[in-house]
Amino acid sequence: MRRKIGLLTLILAVALLLTSCTGVLADPESLISPPKADGELQGIEEALYAAVGKDFSFIYPSAGENRSSCISVDLNGDSKNEAIVFYRLKNDSSMIHMNFFAENDGAWKSAFETQFACSGLDRVDFQDVCGDKNLEIMVGCNMYSATDKQLNIFTLAGNTLSLLSQENYSSYSIVDIMENVKPQILLLSIQTQVAVKEESNLQDASNVQKSAFARFLTFGDQNTVVETGRVELDPNITGFSNITTGLLNDSDKAIYVDANKGSDLMITEILYFDNTLINASYDATLGETRETKREAPILCRDIDQDGRIEIPSAQVIKGYTDKAIGERNYYTIWRSYDKTGFQMKSAGVLNAVDGYYLNLEKDIDWLESITFVSDTGLKTRTFYDWNFDESKAGDELFTIKVFTKRAWQSEDNDDYKVVTVSGDNVYTVNINEKNTSSYQMTLTQIKDHFVLL
């Protein structure tokens, strides 16, 4: 119960503190005028001025849920908030400072101060990772490249903070895939090392060693950090797009890491814990993750809403194989993985931009016998029979078009029928009744196959 209260308080605190400290407004974000500070914020601000003066500018996390420079949260569940503030001093731009404030008899006072030699704040999270019912503070700092970051984990020690651990990462996530009560931290890292030529002592651009790996951290007694697992990832990963967790089978959970490989490819590393951390996707013999590779940036999702994550594979639709990547249209086959192998769960046409999926279930014949043309500006997708004899699009089957509610009411759209409505979007279809091929669909069939994302 305590934990729930803590989380609720956290959510409230986050909502409240998105207003940020008032006063010195250094960031464009804060041009969105915040509400007048309540007593708490004013108290923290005054304590900050008392501790460091006024020659500073606030620093904001650039990612994650907490985007304020000044965050108050009840770390120890005593119904009194503590607060942290991030800033840079005007006379020393190389350091980002974190100041920790606690309230005593209505007066806020600085109780701890530290600084990070870094280029910016990546993200700030609060989570009880060591299981002592107090929230730890996780401060992710951007170092001087997009993939080189440092996570600083602080824990409450009496009235002050102590640094529990410092870890390098490119991307991290707090996950919960083990049976014990504590959440765990997944750290993903990309490393590039350029060899140095012996004769000249200069970097040898032709000799670049790339590696990527995942580390799994848990917390032991006396707040010790334990590396519980470490696995290789595809060494050519250039960035991480999304980390999600889901059921691997009836009893185990897995982490699904969607990663970019170069500018065109995406892969999914499937990580789970079975005495040790395992990467089910990576083929150590080949030295790459091939099984989940696709040339379209489609993220994993639970496409059939059964609690298990499906991994997409992009299949080039008829008529697009000769086009360059980026100009191709695809259909998607979705597969889940359960330790024994991959199972096909669904196949269909995804439109992630307009938020729908035409689920053809497992009808690969249909998907291999049609083609479609997209117009992202008009929000249309026009489907055609594929003319196998002439290797080109045949007759039009139907056009799916997304209208705004206002456009739907005001435009001439007699040919379109409503499939479904969601928010401000009216999803419609114009069926070419003259085309009665076996691949044609009725309005009812389209409604049955239509899934909102």
Segment lying near Ca ion (by CB under 5 A), choices 46-54, 134-142, 262-270, 278-286: 134-142
Q: Is 338 in the site for Ca ion (CB under 5 A)?
A: no
Could you say which DSSP state residue 338 is in? Answer: -
Strands 276-279 and 311-316, sheet pairing? unpaired
Helix (H) or strand (E) holding 119: none
**Among residues 30, 134, 279, 292, which is the contact residue for Ca ion, using CB under 5 A?**
134
In the complex, least distance from residue 217 CB atom to Ca ion, rounded to whole angstroms: 14
Q: What values do phi and psi take at 262, rounded to 5? A: 65, -160
Residue 32 CB contacts under 8 Å (≥ 6 apart), including other chains: none
Q: Is 306 in the site for Ca ion (CB under 5 A)?
A: yes
Residue 412 CB contacts under 8 Å (≥ 6 apart), including other chains: none
Q: Is 130 in the site for Ca ion (CB under 5 A)?
A: yes
Could you say which DSSP state residue 399 is in? Answer: E
Q: Is 335 in the site for Ca ion (CB under 5 A)?
A: no
Between residues 231 and 254, which has the closer beta carbon with respect to Ca ion? 254
**Cα radius of gyration rounded to whole Å, the chain:** 26
**Among residues 128, 148, 354, 385, which is the contact residue for Ca ion, using CB under 5 A?**
128
The Cα–Cα gap between 421 and 9 comes to 35
Q: Three-class SS of residue 406?
A: helix
Q: Is 19 in the site for Ca ion (CB under 5 A)?
A: no
Between residues 79 and 93, which has the closer beta carbon with respect to Ca ion? 79
Residues touching Ca ion, count (CB under 5 A)? 14
Q: Is 392 in the site for Ca ion (CB under 5 A)?
A: no
Which x/- pattern, by CB under 5 A, does the window 60-89 give for Ca ion? Answer: --------------x-x-x-x---------
Q: Is 385 in the site for Ca ion (CB under 5 A)?
A: no
Which x/- pattern, by CB under 5 A, does the window 214-243 give for Ca ion? Answer: ------------------------------
**Among residues 27, 40, 132, 338, which is the contact residue for Ca ion, using CB under 5 A?**
132
Q: Is 380 in the site for Ca ion (CB under 5 A)?
A: no
Could you say which DSSP state residue 129 is in? Answer: -
Could you say which DSSP state residue 443 is in? Answer: H
Q: Is 125 in the site for Ca ion (CB under 5 A)?
A: no
Q: Are 215 and 227 spatial neighbours (Cβ–Cβ below 8 Å)? A: yes
Between residues 27 and 132, which has the closer beta carbon with respect to Ca ion? 132
Overall residue count recorded for the chain in this entry: 453
Between residues 45 and 128, which has the closer beta carbon with respect to Ca ion? 128
Between residues 78 and 433, which has the closer beta carbon with respect to Ca ion? 78
Between residues 271 and 402, which has the closer beta carbon with respect to Ca ion? 271
Between residues 359 and 440, which has the closer beta carbon with respect to Ca ion? 359
Nearest residue to 344 via CA among 356, 360, 357, 362: 362
**Among residues 67, 97, 123, 308, which is the contact residue for Ca ion, using CB under 5 A?**
308
Residue 250 CB contacts under 8 Å (≥ 6 apart), including other chains: none
Cα–Cα distances in angstroms (integers) from residue 94 to residues 13, 118, 233, 419, in the given order = 29, 7, 33, 56
Residue type, 39: G
Between residues 129 and 349, which has the closer beta carbon with respect to Ca ion? 129
Q: Are 207 and 283 spatial neighbours (Cβ–Cβ below 8 Å)? A: no
In the complex, least distance from residue 119 CB atom to Ca ion, rounded to whole angstroms: 29
In the complex, least distance from residue 35 CB atom to Ca ion, rounded to whole angstroms: 23
Q: Three-class SS of residue 372?
A: strand
Binding site for Ca ion (CB under 5 A): 74, 76, 78, 80, 128, 130, 132, 134, 136, 302, 304, 306, 308, 310
